[in-house]
A and B are shown apart, each in its own frame.
Chain A
Amino acid sequence: MQKDALNIVVTGVGGQGQITLARVIAEAALIRGINAIVAETHGLSQRGGTVIVHVRLGNADAPLIPPGAAHVLLSMELIEAARYSHYLARDSIAVVNDYLVPPPLPGIKVPSTDELVSTIKERAGSLVIIPATQKALETGDVRVANMMLLGAAIEAGAFRDYIDMSSAEKAIQSVLGKAARQNIAALHNGAELARKAIKQ
Chain B
Amino acid sequence: MAHREVLSPPGKRVIMLGNVAIARGFLEAGLQFAAAYPGTPSTEIVEALSTAAKLLGGKPYVEWSVNEKVALEAALGAAIAGARSMAAMKHVGLNVAADPFFSSAYLGVDGALVVVSADDPWMWSSQNEQDNRWYGLHAYIPVVEPTGPQDAKEAAKLALLYSEKYKRPFILRTTTRIAHTRVPVDTGEIPVDRLEPRGEFHKDPSRWTLVPQYARRKRVELLEFWDKISVELASFPLNGTEGSGSLAIVGVGLGYRYAREAARILGVEDDVTVYKIATSVPFPRPMAEKILGHDTVLVVEEGDPVAEIQLKTIAQEEGLRARILGKRDNLLPRYGELGLEKVVNALSKLVGKEPPKWAVDPPTSVEEKLPPRPPVLCPGCPYRGFFYALRRAVNKLRLKPVYSGDIGCYSLGVLPPFHVQDTIIEMGGSIGAGNGFAHVLRGDSDITIAIIGDSTFFHSGITPLLNAVYNNAPLLVIVLDNHTTAMTGHQPHPGTGIRAIGEPGYAMSIESVARGVGVGKVLVADPFDVKDSEAKLLEALRYVKEEKKPAVLIAKGACILVALRAAYRRGIKPVIYRVNIDKCTGCGICYTVFNCPAILRREDRKAEIDPALCTGCGVCAQICPFNAFEPVSELNPEWFKIMRTAKPEQ
Residues of A within 8 A of B (CB): 13-15, 22-23, 26-27, 30, 35-50, 60-69, 79-80, 82-83, 85-86, 88-89, 101-111, 119, 123, 133, 137, 142
Which residue of A is nearest B261, CB measured?
A: A61
Contact between B149 and A63 (Cβ–Cβ < 8 Å)?
Answer: yes
Contact between B182 and A26 (Cβ–Cβ < 8 Å)?
Answer: yes
Which residue of A is nearest B182, CB measured?
A: A38
B456 nearest CB across to chain A (Å): 14
Choose among B363, B409, B487, B591 the residue with the greatest number of A CB atoms under 10 Å from its CB: B363
Contact between A61 and B375 (Cβ–Cβ < 8 Å)?
Answer: no
Knowing A23-B182, A61-B257, A110-B371, say if A86 contacts B40 (CB, 8 Å): no
Interface size class of B (residues with CB under 8 A): 35 or more
**B357 contacts across to A, CB distance below 8 A:** 68
4 further contact pairs, Cβ within 8 A, besides A35-B183, A37-B181, A44-B40: A36-B184, A47-B409, A64-B338, A79-B373
A/B interface sample: 15 pairs, CB < 8 A = A37-B183, A38-B182, A40-B180, A43-B124, A43-B487, A50-B373, A63-B148, A66-B339, A67-B358, A67-B365, A82-B366, A102-B601, A105-B376, A105-B415, A109-B371
Choose among A39, A111, A133 the residue with the greatest number of B CB atoms under 10 Å from its CB: A39
List of 9 A-B pairs having minimum Cβ-Cβ separation, nearest first: A43-B125, A68-B358, A49-B375, A43-B40, A47-B375, A104-B597, A66-B341, A44-B125, A61-B261
A45 nearest CB across to chain B (Å): 5
A119 nearest CB across to chain B (Å): 6
B467 nearest CB across to chain A (Å): 28
Residues of B within 8 A of A (CB): 13, 15, 17, 40-41, 43, 124-125, 148-150, 177, 180-184, 254, 257-258, 260-261, 264, 337-341, 344, 356-359, 362-367, 369-379, 409, 411-412, 415-417, 487-489, 591-593, 595-597, 599-601, 610-613
Contact between A64 and B15 (Cβ–Cβ < 8 Å)?
Answer: no
Contact between B177 and A64 (Cβ–Cβ < 8 Å)?
Answer: yes
In angstroms, Cα B500 to Cα A195, docked, is 48
**B338 contacts across to A, CB distance below 8 A:** 62, 64
Contact of A86 among B364, B415, B611 (CB under 8 A): B364
Contact of A36 among B183, B359, B369, B599 (CB under 8 A): B183
Knowing A62-B261, A106-B591, say if A42 contacts B41 (CB, 8 Å): yes
Contact between B15 and A30 (Cβ–Cβ < 8 Å)?
Answer: yes
B424 nearest CB across to chain A (Å): 12
Contact between A39 and B180 (Cβ–Cβ < 8 Å)?
Answer: yes
- By secondary structure, the B interface counts as loop
A14 nearest CB across to chain B (Å): 6
Which residue of A is nearest B407, CB measured?
A: A44
Contact of A49 among B373, B488, B600, B612 (CB under 8 A): B373
**B372 contacts across to A, CB distance below 8 A:** 103, 105, 108
B39 nearest CB across to chain A (Å): 9
B493 nearest CB across to chain A (Å): 17
The number of residue pairs between A and B whose CB atoms lie closer than 8 Å in the complex comes to: 189
In angstroms, Cα B595 to Cα A62, docked, is 39
**A45 contacts across to B, CB distance below 8 A:** 124-125, 375
**A60 contacts across to B, CB distance below 8 A:** 261
Contact of A64 among B340, B367, B612 (CB under 8 A): B340
Contact between A48 and B366 (Cβ–Cβ < 8 Å)?
Answer: no
Choose among B370, B379, B411, B489 the residue with the greatest number of A CB atoms under 10 Å from its CB: B370
Choose among A15, A47, A49 the residue with the greatest number of B CB atoms under 10 Å from its CB: A47
B570 nearest CB across to chain A (Å): 16
**A82 contacts across to B, CB distance below 8 A:** 366, 370
A6 nearest CB across to chain B (Å): 14
**B375 contacts across to A, CB distance below 8 A:** 14, 44-49
**B341 contacts across to A, CB distance below 8 A:** 66-69
In angstroms, Cα B176 to Cα A41, docked, is 9
**A83 contacts across to B, CB distance below 8 A:** 365-367, 370, 373
In angstroms, Cα B258 to Cα A198, docked, is 38
Which residue of B is nearest A110, CB measured?
A: B371
In angstroms, Cα B370 to Cα A111, docked, is 7
In angstroms, Cα B522 to Cα A172, docked, is 50
**B417 contacts across to A, CB distance below 8 A:** 106
Contact of B41 among A37, A43, A80 (CB under 8 A): A43
Contact between B611 and A44 (Cβ–Cβ < 8 Å)?
Answer: no
Knowing A30-B13, A44-B40, A47-B409, say if A63 contacts B124 (CB, 8 Å): no
In angstroms, Cα B183 to Cα A39, docked, is 9
In angstroms, Cα B236 to Cα A66, docked, is 32
**A101 contacts across to B, CB distance below 8 A:** 597, 610, 613
Contact between A35 and B184 (Cβ–Cβ < 8 Å)?
Answer: yes
In angstroms, Cα B260 to Cα A79, docked, is 34
In angstroms, Cα B258 to Cα A15, docked, is 30
**A41 contacts across to B, CB distance below 8 A:** 124, 180
In angstroms, Cα B5 to Cα A23, docked, is 13
**B610 contacts across to A, CB distance below 8 A:** 101
